[in-house]
Amino acid sequence: MTDFDFNSEISLAVSHNSILHIWSFILTTCLLVTVLAIYRYVSSQCTYWETQGVKTVSVGLLTRFTKQWHEWEHELCKRNGKIFGIYEMTKPVLFVSDPDLIRDILVKDFHIFNNRRDFSTGVEPLLDNMLTVVKDEQWKKIRSIMSPTFSTGKLKKMMPLIVECRNSLFNNLDKIAKTDGQTDMKRLLGAYAMEVVIQVAFGTKVDALFDENNPIIVNARKVFGQNINPKLILVLFAPKLAKLLKISPFDKKVMNFFKDLTLNIIEERKRNNDSVKRIDFLQLMLDSMQNNITLDSEENKDNDHEKYKEIQATDDIDKTLTSDELVAQCVLFFLAGYETSATTMSLCLHQIAKHPEVQQKLYLESKKYFDEYKGVDYDELNSLKYLNAVIMETQRLLPAALFLERVPNEDYELRGTGITIKKGHIVHIPLYAMQRDADNFADPEVFRPERFLPENIAHHPYAYLPFGAGPRNCIGMRLAQMEVRLGLISLANRYRFYPSEKPLEFFTSGGGMIPKTVMVKMERRA
Ligand code: HEM
């Protein structure tokens, strides 16, 4: 190599390096300018709460998803009081924890707050037609077709089917009690909850649900069983972008699994076409597809308290379901009925295992139910006051849903505050934080079921919302209460539970408080 060549190689390398440096400088500057421009744009859009005199809190997206959601939200509410505003990107969200205002939003002015935030995908009819997602008239139609499934009369008729599910649970727990008794109650009660859903929804018994590898259970666990679901985050915080990118928050394979399962059950029902009139959820849906349904508002006459009053079914409501709507509600039934009930029951067991004095009182109450009513009577089950108090106290401290949300369909002035919430803004009701607020419950961190005995109840009805409230509350509440009450009283009667060393750990996804496992040690009572 000559001197000349050597120098030109060096000068070529130097000039390449300089070009690279110039380009990386230009790119970094562009990136910084873009980030700054987005930041300035977002900040300039985030001024609404200021104009309303509302305390504004800036929250980082990262802290929200790296911390356990319930802890994050609890701390936020403790620091900032009963009304404050945040922004999700540029969307104004108002946190409201005042029980009187919550009553206005959920019940009194329900005609304005009848929808949740937009969760539709525009590409996934299975999700977009679910009762939890649909809006306005479509919601009214589907809700009034579904609600008779959960009337007291129907549930009473279903009690023997649920007792059968409870008996399969016993069979499985008896086997575990013969080993060292250490078990994940969340898994076992998940199988019980799924059996109940399948019985109530489809009048079908599916065997082997207690098998951990059963595909129904495996797929149901996939829906909620992850810590951070990036697609869900995008749908929640940038719904327009998610729609543009045609993103659906749940795994398509899982959704298709439940869709195919539902279609098979429907096909079988049509093939068998037996003459016995069935009372299950699927039959109500199929009848409504043929416009063959009489909406009986008498069915719900027990829902007389305003907190849980159903919308009234009137003649002007369209009563015909499309096939997309039918399949979506069936799949929703699987998803909504499984994780929430299994979580509530297993957390009740976790609590009684940690509080032996509570467990003993519950056992004494269970003895009467089993000795006098053989553990199968519907009305008597609902009159067990201590059982009810244990469940309510567990749901106060560890509710399956951490918050409720509503979106007004017109501008709305919050009574007595001078604050106007604009059409399309989000109202966020942080029920986990409210249920642990000393203004609502004395010694809020203490597990004390006695506070829910009828003679001791002292809280505002809208400070306790594990099933939501108003016409858009949990449609499955009565079914869930029946299944959880029957499950818990039966287990307390037959077994003794001891706490496990393993602390509870929750998934952080989606605003639910879903434990990964609930380990307890159990033994059969003599
Ligand atoms: C312990 C068990 C359960 C808990 C804690 C629970 C909790 C909730 C909560 C907090 C809501 C939101 C209510 C609101 O926005 O005001 C809800 C809605 C809903 N739940 Fe449940 N749920 C449970 C069991 C069930 C079951 C067993 C089903 C059905 C089989 C069900 C079906 C639904 C549906 C379809 C909605 C949406 C209602 C609508 O938008 O009209 N849930 N649930």
344 CB less than 6 Å from ligand 1? yes
- Does residue 342 line the site of ligand 1, with CB under 6 A? no
Q: Is 144 touching ligand 1 by the criterion CB < 6 Å?
A: no
Say which range, 138-152, 357-371, 458-472, has the weakest mean pLDDT: 138-152
The residue among 360, 392, 374 whose CA lies nearest residue 492 is: 360
Q: Nearest C-alpha to atom 7 of ligand 1 is from which residue?
A: 467
Which of 427, 467, 478, 481 to mutate for ligand 1's pocket (most ligand atoms within 8 Å of CB)?
A: 467
Of the candidates 70, 342, 399, 127, the one whose C-alpha atom is nearest the C-alpha of residue 256 is 127
The amino acid that residue 361 corresponds to is: K
DSSP labels, 16-50: HHHHHHHHHHHHHHHHHHHHHHHHHHHHHHTTHHH
Supply the range of the domain harboring residue 249: 49-524
pLDDT of res. 485:
97
Residue 400 in contact with ligand 1 by CB distance below 6 A: yes
Q: What is the CATH number of the domain that holds 455?
A: 1.10.630.10
User: What distance in angstroms lies between residue 89's CA and the mean position of ligand 1's atoms?
Assistant: 28
What is the mean pLDDT of the segment spanning 432-458? 97
Q: Report the nearest atom of ligand 1 relative to the CA of 200.
A: 30
- The ipTM, to two decimals, is 0.99
Q: How far is the CA of 477 from the centre of ligand 1 (A)?
A: 6
- Residue 41 to residues 44, 46, 57, 518, Cα–Cα distance (Å): 5, 9, 18, 46
Distance 484 CA to ligand 1 centre (A): 14
Any idea how long the chain is?
526
d(CA 280, CA 260): 19
- 131 CB within 6 A, ligand 1: yes
Order across the sheet with 182-184: list the strands.
182-184, 519-524, 495-499
Mean pLDDT score across all residues of the chain: 87
From the CB of 341, is ligand 1 less than 6 Å away?
A: yes
Confidence of residue 87 (pLDDT cuts 50, 70, 90): very high
Instruction: Give 278-311 pLDDT, tens digit per residue.
Output: 778 888 777 776 665 555 544 544 455 889 888 8
Mean pLDDT for the stretch of residues 1-18: 64
100 within a domain of the structure (yes/no): yes
Q: What atom in ligand 1 is closest to the CA of residue 473? A: 16
Q: Is residue 99 part of a domain?
A: yes
Residue 320, C-beta contacts closer than 8 angstroms, at least 6 positions apart: 288, 289, 291
Confidence band for 207, pLDDT divided at 50, 70 and 90: low
Q: How far is the CA of 294 from the centre of ligand 1 (A)?
A: 24
Nearest ligand 1 atom, CA 106: 16
3-state secondary structure 408-471: CCCCEEECCCCEEECCCCEEEECHHHHHCCCCCCCCCCCCCHHHHCHHHCCCCHHHCCCCCCCC
Share of the chain above pLDDT 70, in %: 87
User: How open is the CA angle 312-316-322, to the nearest 5 degrees?
Assistant: 95
Q: What is the pLDDT of residue 7?
A: 66
Residue 472 lies in a domain: yes
Atom of ligand 1 nearest to the CA of 405: 15
Residue found by looking up tokens 């033994």 in the block:
523
What is the pLDDT at residue 393?
98
Is residue 389 pLDDT above 80, yes or no? yes
Name the nearest CA neighbour of 465 among 54, 112, 101.
101
Alpha carbon nearest to ligand 1 atom 41, residue: 472
Task: Give a yes or no: residue 96 inside a domain.
Answer: yes
Model confidence band, residue 19 (pLDDT cutoffs 50, 70, 90) = confident
> How many structural domains is the chain composed of?
1
Question: In the chain, pLDDT over 90 holds for what percent of residues?
Answer: 49
- Is the residue at 430 inside a domain? yes
Q: Is the CB of 185 under 6 A from ligand 1?
A: no
11 belongs to a structural domain? no
Q: Examine residue 34 and state whether it is found in any structural domain, yes or no.
A: no
| Residue having the nearest C-alpha atom to atom 10 of ligand 1 | 467
> Is the alpha carbon torsion for 383, 485, 167, 172 positive or negative?
negative
Give residue 2's pLDDT band: very low, low, confident or very high (50, 70, 90): very low
Better-scored residue on pLDDT, 293 or 55: 55
| Inter-helix orientation angle 323-354/215-224, to 10° | 80
Q: Is 474 annotated as a binding residue?
A: yes
Residue 1 has a pLDDT of: 45
Amino acid in the structure at residue 160? P
Contact between 45 and 38 under an 8 Å Cβ cutoff? The reply is no
Atom number of ligand 1 nearest to Cα 465: 10
Ligand 1 contact via 141 beta carbon (within 6 Å):
no
Query: Number of helices (H) and strands (E), helices first, in the chain?
Result: 20, 11
Provide the pLDDT for residue 270. Answer: 78
Structure confidence at residue 255 (pLDDT):
83
98 Cβ contact list (under 8 Å, min separation 6): 82, 83
What interhelical angle do 477-494 and 185-202 show, nearest 10? 130
